[in-house]
Protein backbone atom coordinates (compact mmCIF):
# COMPACT_ATOMS: atom_id res chain seq x y z
CA UNK A 1 0.00 0.00 0.00
CA UNK A 2 1.39 3.40 -1.02
CA UNK A 3 2.53 5.80 1.69
CA UNK A 4 3.89 9.31 1.17
CA UNK A 5 7.66 9.30 1.62
CA UNK A 6 9.69 12.21 2.96
CA UNK A 7 11.73 13.78 0.22
CA UNK A 8 15.46 13.62 0.68
CA UNK A 9 16.18 15.63 -2.43
CA UNK A 10 14.22 18.30 -4.27
CA UNK A 11 15.90 17.99 -7.65
CA UNK A 12 13.63 17.82 -10.67
CA UNK A 13 14.57 14.17 -11.17
CA UNK A 14 13.80 13.34 -7.53
CA UNK A 15 10.48 15.21 -7.68
CA UNK A 16 9.56 13.50 -10.96
CA UNK A 17 10.25 10.11 -9.44
CA UNK A 18 8.24 10.79 -6.31
CA UNK A 19 5.29 12.11 -8.33
CA UNK A 20 5.50 9.17 -10.70
CA UNK A 21 5.26 6.64 -7.84
CA UNK A 22 2.32 8.49 -6.35
CA UNK A 23 0.49 8.64 -9.68
CA UNK A 24 1.00 4.94 -10.32
CA UNK A 25 -0.55 4.19 -6.93
CA UNK A 26 -3.44 6.55 -7.59
CA UNK A 27 -4.08 5.00 -11.00
CA UNK A 28 -4.10 1.49 -9.60
CA UNK A 29 -6.36 2.37 -6.72
CA UNK A 30 -9.10 4.29 -8.49
CA UNK A 31 -9.54 1.55 -11.05
CA UNK A 32 -10.01 -1.06 -8.36
CA UNK A 33 -13.03 0.66 -6.81
CA UNK A 34 -16.05 -1.62 -7.13
CA UNK A 35 -18.76 -0.24 -4.92
CA UNK A 36 -19.82 2.67 -2.83
CA UNK A 37 -18.03 1.68 0.36
CA UNK A 38 -14.77 1.03 -1.49
CA UNK A 39 -15.18 4.38 -3.18
CA UNK A 40 -15.66 6.17 0.15
CA UNK A 41 -12.57 4.48 1.56
CA UNK A 42 -10.61 5.46 -1.53
CA UNK A 43 -11.81 9.06 -1.37
CA UNK A 44 -10.98 9.38 2.32
CA UNK A 45 -7.57 7.77 1.95
CA UNK A 46 -6.60 10.37 -0.62
CA UNK A 47 -8.60 13.44 0.34
CA UNK A 48 -9.32 13.36 4.07
CA UNK A 49 -8.17 16.59 5.70
CA UNK A 50 -6.60 14.66 8.51
CA UNK A 51 -4.04 12.11 7.36
CA UNK A 52 -5.29 12.00 3.77
CA UNK A 53 -2.54 11.47 1.20
CA UNK A 54 -3.03 14.97 -0.20
CA UNK A 55 -2.61 16.46 3.27
CA UNK A 56 0.52 14.42 3.77
CA UNK A 57 1.91 15.46 0.40
CA UNK A 58 1.25 19.02 1.45
CA UNK A 59 2.95 18.55 4.82
CA UNK A 60 5.82 16.27 3.85
CA UNK A 61 6.65 17.71 0.43
CA UNK A 62 5.53 21.31 0.23
CA UNK A 63 5.84 22.56 3.79
CA UNK A 64 9.14 20.75 4.20
CA UNK A 65 10.56 22.09 0.95
CA UNK A 66 13.45 24.54 1.07
CA UNK A 67 12.50 28.04 -0.04
CA UNK A 68 13.95 27.80 -3.56
CA UNK A 69 12.13 24.53 -4.29
CA UNK A 70 8.74 25.70 -3.00
CA UNK A 71 7.50 26.97 -6.36
CA UNK A 72 8.31 23.79 -8.25
CA UNK A 73 6.91 21.59 -5.48
CA UNK A 74 3.81 23.78 -5.17
CA UNK A 75 3.11 23.40 -8.88
CA UNK A 76 3.36 19.63 -8.68
CA UNK A 77 1.25 19.43 -5.55
CA UNK A 78 -1.49 21.40 -7.34
CA UNK A 79 -1.30 19.00 -10.26
CA UNK A 80 -1.50 16.04 -7.91
CA UNK A 81 -4.50 17.57 -6.17
CA UNK A 82 -6.29 17.95 -9.49
CA UNK A 83 -5.46 14.40 -10.45
CA UNK A 84 -6.67 13.00 -7.13
CA UNK A 85 -9.96 14.87 -7.44
CA UNK A 86 -10.28 13.63 -10.97
CA UNK A 87 -9.63 10.04 -9.97
CA UNK A 88 -12.10 10.17 -7.11
CA UNK A 89 -14.69 11.42 -9.56
CA UNK A 90 -13.85 8.78 -12.14
CA UNK A 91 -13.82 6.00 -9.57
CA UNK A 92 -17.31 7.05 -8.56
CA UNK A 93 -18.70 6.89 -12.07
CA UNK A 94 -16.85 3.62 -12.61
CA UNK A 95 -18.65 1.74 -9.86
CA UNK A 96 -21.95 3.48 -10.57
CA UNK A 97 -21.77 2.50 -14.23
CA UNK A 98 -20.89 -1.02 -13.28
CA UNK A 99 -23.96 -1.14 -11.05
CA UNK A 100 -25.96 0.46 -13.81
CA UNK A 101 -24.85 -2.22 -16.24
CA UNK A 102 -25.90 -4.90 -13.78
CA UNK A 103 -29.31 -3.27 -13.42
CA UNK A 104 -29.63 -3.18 -17.18
CA UNK A 105 -28.74 -6.87 -17.41
CA UNK A 106 -31.42 -7.78 -14.87
CA UNK A 107 -34.02 -5.60 -16.49
CA UNK A 108 -36.25 -6.67 -19.35
CA UNK A 109 -34.67 -5.87 -22.66
CA UNK A 110 -37.71 -5.46 -24.84
CA UNK A 111 -35.59 -5.71 -27.97
CA UNK A 112 -34.65 -9.34 -27.23
CA UNK A 113 -36.74 -12.02 -28.95
CA UNK A 114 -38.04 -13.34 -25.61
CA UNK A 115 -38.42 -16.81 -24.17
CA UNK A 116 -41.07 -18.77 -25.94
CA UNK A 117 -42.82 -21.16 -23.59
CA UNK A 118 -43.92 -24.34 -25.30
CA UNK A 119 -47.64 -24.25 -25.94
CA UNK A 120 -49.51 -26.78 -23.87
CA UNK A 121 -52.01 -29.12 -25.44
CA UNK A 122 -55.39 -30.07 -24.11
CA UNK A 123 -55.11 -33.48 -22.46
CA UNK A 124 -56.70 -36.12 -24.71
CA UNK A 125 -59.10 -37.23 -21.97
CA UNK A 126 -60.18 -33.68 -21.16
CA UNK A 127 -60.51 -33.00 -24.88
CA UNK A 128 -62.81 -36.01 -25.17
CA UNK A 129 -64.80 -34.86 -22.13
CA UNK A 130 -65.26 -31.44 -23.73
CA UNK A 131 -66.36 -32.97 -27.02
CA UNK A 132 -68.94 -35.18 -25.33
CA UNK A 133 -70.18 -32.35 -23.15
CA UNK A 134 -70.58 -30.07 -26.15
CA UNK A 135 -72.67 -32.66 -27.99
CA UNK A 136 -75.12 -32.54 -25.09
CA UNK A 137 -74.87 -28.79 -24.68
CA UNK A 138 -76.07 -28.54 -28.27
CA UNK A 139 -79.11 -30.57 -27.21
CA UNK A 140 -79.87 -28.03 -24.47
CA UNK A 141 -78.20 -29.79 -21.56
CA UNK A 142 -76.36 -27.77 -18.94
CA UNK A 143 -73.27 -28.80 -16.99
CA UNK A 144 -73.20 -29.67 -13.30
CA UNK A 145 -70.34 -30.75 -11.09
CA UNK A 146 -70.10 -32.24 -7.64
CA UNK A 147 -67.57 -33.29 -4.99
CA UNK A 148 -65.10 -36.11 -5.57
CA UNK A 149 -65.12 -36.95 -1.85
CA UNK A 150 -68.68 -38.02 -1.32
CA UNK A 151 -70.82 -39.41 1.46
CA UNK A 152 -72.14 -42.94 1.45
CA UNK A 153 -75.60 -41.39 1.23
CA UNK A 154 -75.10 -39.71 -2.14
CA UNK A 155 -72.84 -42.35 -3.67
CA UNK A 156 -75.06 -45.26 -2.64
CA UNK A 157 -78.12 -44.85 -0.44
CA UNK A 158 -79.98 -42.13 -2.33
CA UNK A 159 -79.21 -44.04 -5.53
CA UNK A 160 -81.17 -46.96 -4.16
CA UNK A 161 -78.19 -49.07 -3.08
CA UNK A 162 -79.45 -50.26 0.31
CA UNK A 163 -76.80 -50.88 3.01
CA UNK A 164 -75.18 -54.30 2.51
CA UNK A 165 -76.72 -54.65 -0.94
CA UNK A 166 -74.44 -56.77 -3.14
CA UNK A 167 -74.51 -54.12 -5.91
CA UNK A 168 -72.22 -52.02 -3.71
CA UNK A 169 -69.52 -54.63 -4.18
CA UNK A 170 -69.44 -54.03 -7.93
CA UNK A 171 -68.18 -50.51 -7.29
CA UNK A 172 -64.82 -51.40 -5.66
CA UNK A 173 -65.09 -48.40 -3.37
CA UNK A 174 -62.14 -46.58 -1.86
CA UNK A 175 -63.24 -45.49 1.61
CA UNK A 176 -61.79 -42.60 3.58
CA UNK A 177 -60.16 -43.93 6.76
CA UNK A 178 -61.37 -43.19 10.29
CA UNK A 179 -65.10 -42.83 9.53
CA UNK A 180 -66.30 -45.71 11.68
CA UNK A 181 -67.75 -43.52 14.42
CA UNK A 182 -70.14 -41.81 11.98
CA UNK A 183 -73.52 -43.18 10.94
CA UNK A 184 -73.07 -45.11 7.69
CA UNK A 185 -74.76 -42.54 5.46
CA UNK A 186 -72.35 -39.81 6.57
CA UNK A 187 -69.17 -41.80 6.03
CA UNK A 188 -66.89 -40.39 3.39
CA UNK A 189 -65.55 -42.18 0.35
CA UNK A 190 -64.15 -41.36 -3.05
CA UNK A 191 -67.13 -41.30 -5.37
CA UNK A 192 -67.17 -44.40 -7.54
CA UNK A 193 -69.32 -42.77 -10.20
CA UNK A 194 -70.73 -39.35 -11.12
CA UNK A 195 -74.29 -40.51 -10.36
CA UNK A 196 -74.32 -38.88 -6.86
CA UNK A 197 -74.39 -35.52 -8.65
CA UNK A 198 -77.76 -36.56 -10.11
CA UNK A 199 -79.13 -36.52 -6.57
CA UNK A 200 -77.32 -33.32 -5.58
CA UNK A 201 -78.74 -31.58 -8.64
CA UNK A 202 -82.33 -32.73 -8.40
CA UNK A 203 -82.31 -31.75 -4.72
CA UNK A 204 -81.95 -28.14 -5.76
CA UNK A 205 -83.69 -28.07 -9.16
CA UNK A 206 -87.22 -28.75 -10.30
CA UNK A 207 -88.05 -30.59 -13.54
CA UNK A 208 -87.57 -30.17 -16.43
CA UNK A 209 -83.96 -31.22 -15.94
CA UNK A 210 -81.36 -31.85 -18.60
CA UNK A 211 -77.84 -32.02 -17.27
CA UNK A 212 -74.49 -33.58 -17.99
CA UNK A 213 -71.99 -34.17 -15.20
CA UNK A 214 -68.33 -34.63 -16.10
CA UNK A 215 -65.82 -35.53 -13.41
CA UNK A 216 -63.23 -37.84 -11.94
CA UNK A 217 -64.21 -40.99 -10.10
CA UNK A 218 -62.16 -43.56 -8.19
CA UNK A 219 -62.30 -47.30 -7.79
CA UNK A 220 -60.05 -49.79 -6.10
CA UNK A 221 -58.83 -51.28 -9.38
CA UNK A 222 -55.15 -52.11 -9.69
CA UNK A 223 -53.72 -50.16 -12.61
CA UNK A 224 -53.26 -52.08 -15.87
CA UNK A 225 -53.66 -51.35 -19.58
CA UNK A 226 -57.41 -50.86 -19.28
CA UNK A 227 -57.89 -49.94 -15.60
CA UNK A 228 -56.91 -46.92 -13.57
CA UNK A 229 -57.91 -46.26 -9.94
CA UNK A 230 -58.89 -42.76 -11.14
CA UNK A 231 -60.83 -42.23 -14.30
CA UNK A 232 -63.40 -39.89 -15.84
CA UNK A 233 -67.12 -40.24 -16.28
CA UNK A 234 -69.78 -38.20 -17.96
CA UNK A 235 -73.19 -38.62 -16.49
CA UNK A 236 -76.39 -37.50 -18.11
CA UNK A 237 -79.83 -36.96 -16.63
CA UNK A 238 -83.08 -35.86 -18.20
CA UNK A 239 -86.24 -35.60 -16.08
CA UNK A 240 -89.50 -34.19 -17.38
CA UNK A 241 -93.08 -35.22 -18.01
CA UNK A 242 -93.52 -38.12 -20.44
CA UNK A 243 -89.87 -39.03 -20.93
CA UNK A 244 -89.68 -42.53 -22.29
CA UNK A 245 -87.11 -45.14 -23.17
CA UNK A 246 -87.42 -43.99 -26.78
CA UNK A 247 -86.11 -40.57 -25.75
CA UNK A 248 -83.16 -42.28 -24.10
CA UNK A 249 -82.39 -44.31 -27.21
CA UNK A 250 -82.86 -41.42 -29.59
CA UNK A 251 -80.72 -39.06 -27.53
CA UNK A 252 -77.86 -41.51 -27.12
CA UNK A 253 -78.02 -42.65 -30.73
CA UNK A 254 -77.78 -39.03 -31.84
CA UNK A 255 -74.89 -38.39 -29.44
CA UNK A 256 -72.91 -41.38 -30.78
CA UNK A 257 -73.42 -40.24 -34.37
CA UNK A 258 -72.27 -36.75 -33.39
CA UNK A 259 -69.19 -38.19 -31.68
CA UNK A 260 -68.17 -40.99 -34.00
CA UNK A 261 -69.72 -40.07 -37.33
CA UNK A 262 -73.11 -40.59 -38.93
CA UNK A 263 -72.46 -44.24 -39.74
CA UNK A 264 -72.25 -45.16 -36.03
CA UNK A 265 -75.04 -47.49 -34.90
CA UNK A 266 -76.16 -48.25 -31.37
CA UNK A 267 -77.50 -51.35 -29.67
CA UNK A 268 -78.95 -51.80 -26.20
CA UNK A 269 -78.92 -54.88 -24.03
CA UNK A 270 -80.44 -55.42 -20.60
CA UNK A 271 -78.35 -54.71 -17.55
CA UNK A 272 -78.77 -53.78 -13.90
CA UNK A 273 -78.20 -50.62 -11.89
CA UNK A 274 -80.02 -50.04 -8.59
CA UNK A 275 -81.01 -46.51 -9.62
CA UNK A 276 -82.41 -47.24 -13.08
CA UNK A 277 -85.25 -49.53 -14.11
CA UNK A 278 -85.11 -50.82 -16.73
CA UNK A 279 -81.34 -50.60 -17.12
CA UNK A 280 -79.26 -51.16 -20.20
CA UNK A 281 -75.76 -51.26 -21.53
CA UNK A 282 -75.32 -49.47 -24.78
CA UNK A 283 -73.02 -50.72 -27.50
CA UNK A 284 -71.83 -48.63 -30.39
CA UNK A 285 -70.75 -50.16 -33.67
CA UNK A 286 -66.97 -50.39 -33.69
CA UNK A 287 -65.66 -47.26 -35.37
CA UNK A 288 -62.28 -48.89 -35.85
CA UNK A 289 -63.50 -51.76 -38.06
CA UNK A 290 -66.88 -50.26 -38.94
CA UNK A 291 -68.69 -53.13 -37.22
CA UNK A 292 -67.14 -55.91 -39.27
CA UNK A 293 -64.89 -57.26 -36.50
CA UNK A 294 -61.98 -57.31 -38.95
CA UNK A 295 -59.29 -54.89 -40.08
CA UNK A 296 -58.33 -56.21 -43.47
CA UNK A 297 -57.35 -59.78 -42.79
CA UNK A 298 -56.47 -58.99 -39.12
CA UNK A 299 -58.96 -59.42 -36.29
CA UNK A 300 -60.13 -56.08 -34.79
CA UNK A 301 -58.81 -55.86 -31.26
CA UNK A 302 -60.75 -52.93 -29.75
CA UNK A 303 -64.10 -54.66 -30.29
CA UNK A 304 -62.69 -58.15 -29.74
CA UNK A 305 -63.95 -59.03 -33.23
CA UNK A 306 -67.57 -58.53 -32.21
CA UNK A 307 -68.07 -55.33 -34.22
CA UNK A 308 -69.54 -53.68 -31.09
CA UNK A 309 -68.01 -51.67 -28.30
CA UNK A 310 -69.69 -51.32 -24.93
CA UNK A 311 -69.69 -47.65 -24.16
CA UNK A 312 -72.09 -46.76 -21.37
CA UNK A 313 -74.63 -47.77 -18.77
CA UNK A 314 -78.07 -46.23 -18.82
CA UNK A 315 -81.70 -46.63 -17.94
CA UNK A 316 -84.93 -45.01 -16.83
CA UNK A 317 -84.57 -43.36 -13.43
CA UNK A 318 -85.90 -45.82 -10.83
CA UNK A 319 -89.06 -44.43 -9.13
CA UNK A 320 -87.41 -45.23 -5.78
CA UNK A 321 -84.82 -42.52 -6.51
CA UNK A 322 -87.56 -39.88 -6.86
CA UNK A 323 -88.64 -40.82 -3.35
CA UNK A 324 -85.30 -39.58 -2.02
CA UNK A 325 -85.70 -36.16 -3.60
CA UNK A 326 -89.42 -35.45 -3.30
CA UNK A 327 -90.31 -35.79 -6.95
CA UNK A 328 -93.65 -37.38 -7.76
CA UNK A 329 -92.90 -40.48 -9.88
CA UNK A 330 -96.49 -40.41 -11.12
CA UNK A 331 -95.90 -37.00 -12.69
CA UNK A 332 -92.32 -37.13 -13.90
CA UNK A 333 -90.07 -39.66 -15.56
CA UNK A 334 -86.53 -39.53 -16.85
CA UNK A 335 -83.49 -41.31 -18.07
CA UNK A 336 -79.87 -41.37 -16.99
CA UNK A 337 -76.66 -42.57 -18.50
CA UNK A 338 -73.02 -42.71 -17.55
CA UNK A 339 -70.01 -43.24 -19.77
CA UNK A 340 -66.28 -43.55 -19.24
CA UNK A 341 -64.47 -40.72 -21.01
CA UNK A 342 -61.07 -42.41 -20.77
CA UNK A 343 -62.34 -45.50 -22.55
CA UNK A 344 -63.81 -43.39 -25.31
CA UNK A 345 -60.53 -41.45 -25.61
CA UNK A 346 -58.61 -44.73 -25.83
CA UNK A 347 -60.81 -45.87 -28.69
CA UNK A 348 -60.85 -42.51 -30.45
CA UNK A 349 -57.09 -42.10 -30.41
CA UNK A 350 -56.09 -45.75 -30.70
CA UNK A 351 -54.18 -45.67 -27.41
CA UNK A 352 -53.31 -49.13 -26.16
CA UNK A 353 -52.70 -48.39 -22.48
CA UNK A 354 -54.84 -46.16 -20.23
CA UNK A 355 -51.79 -45.54 -18.00
CA UNK A 356 -50.30 -43.38 -20.75
CA UNK A 357 -52.98 -40.81 -20.02
CA UNK A 358 -51.93 -40.37 -16.43
CA UNK A 359 -48.19 -40.85 -16.09
CA UNK A 360 -47.47 -37.41 -17.51
CA UNK A 361 -44.97 -38.25 -20.25
CA UNK A 362 -44.84 -35.11 -22.38
CA UNK A 363 -43.69 -37.10 -25.42
CA UNK A 364 -47.03 -38.90 -25.32
CA UNK A 365 -49.17 -35.89 -24.48
CA UNK A 366 -47.68 -33.50 -27.02
CA UNK A 367 -48.90 -35.71 -29.83
CA UNK A 368 -52.36 -34.35 -29.13
CA UNK A 369 -51.28 -30.70 -29.47
N1 LIG B 1 -73.08 -44.92 -12.59
C2 LIG B 1 -73.01 -46.10 -13.40
C3 LIG B 1 -71.61 -46.67 -13.35
O4 LIG B 1 -70.73 -46.04 -12.87
C5 LIG B 1 -73.37 -45.81 -14.83
C6 LIG B 1 -74.77 -45.37 -15.01
C7 LIG B 1 -75.09 -44.02 -14.95
C8 LIG B 1 -75.80 -46.28 -15.22
C9 LIG B 1 -76.40 -43.61 -15.10
C10 LIG B 1 -77.10 -45.89 -15.40
C11 LIG B 1 -77.37 -44.53 -15.34
O12 LIG B 1 -71.37 -47.78 -13.76
Summarize pLDDT for 82-118 with one digit per residue, the tens.
Answer: 999 999 998 888 888 877 776 666 777 788 887 888 8
215 lines ligand 1 (CB under 6 A): no
Residue 274 has pLDDT above 90, yes or no: yes
CB 340 within 8 A of CB 233: yes
Centre of ligand 1 to C-alpha 242, Å, is 22
Task: Name, in order, each residue with C-beta under 8 angstroms of 362's C-beta and a sequence gap of 6 or more.
Answer: none
Chain centre distance of CA 21: 65
CA atoms within 13 A of residue 197's CA, in its CB half-sphere:
27
pLDDT at site 121:
84
What phi and psi values does residue 91 have, to the nearest 5 degrees?
-60, -40
pTM here?
0.70
CA atoms within 13 A of residue 160's CA, in its CB half-sphere:
16
Count of CB atoms situated within 10 Å of the CB of 190? 20
Chain centre distance of CA 123: 12
Mean pLDDT computed over every residue of the chain:
92
**Among residues 215, 196, 197, which one has the least CA distance to residue 125?**
215
Distance CA 316, CA 269 (A): 14
Ligand 1 atom nearest to CA at 237: 9
What phi and psi values does residue 224 have, to the nearest 5 degrees?
-150, -165
Distance CA 361, CA 1 (A): 62
pLDDT at site 345:
93
Which of 146, 172, 195, 237 is the best mutation target for the ligand 1 pocket, counting ligand atoms within 8 Å of the beta carbon and taking the most? 195
Whether the ω angle into residue 153 lies within 30 degrees of 0, i.e. cis, is no
pLDDT tens digit sequence for 209-236: 999 999 999 999 999 988 999 999 999 9
How large is the average pLDDT for residues 238-245?
A: 96
Residue 277 has pLDDT above 80, yes or no: yes
Ligand 1 atom nearest to CA at 217: 4
CB 294 within 8 A of CB 300: yes
Amino acid sequence: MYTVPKLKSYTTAALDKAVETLRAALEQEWKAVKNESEWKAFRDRWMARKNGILTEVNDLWLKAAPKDAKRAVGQRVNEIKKQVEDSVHRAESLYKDAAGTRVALDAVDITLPGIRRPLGAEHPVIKTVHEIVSVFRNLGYSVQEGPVIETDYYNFEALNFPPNHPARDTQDTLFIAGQESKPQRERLLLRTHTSPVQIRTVEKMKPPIRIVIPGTVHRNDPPDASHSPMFHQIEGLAVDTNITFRDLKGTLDHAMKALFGSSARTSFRPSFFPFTEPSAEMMVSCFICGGTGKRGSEPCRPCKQTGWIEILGCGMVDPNVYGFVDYDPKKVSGFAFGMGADRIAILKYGVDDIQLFFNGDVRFLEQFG
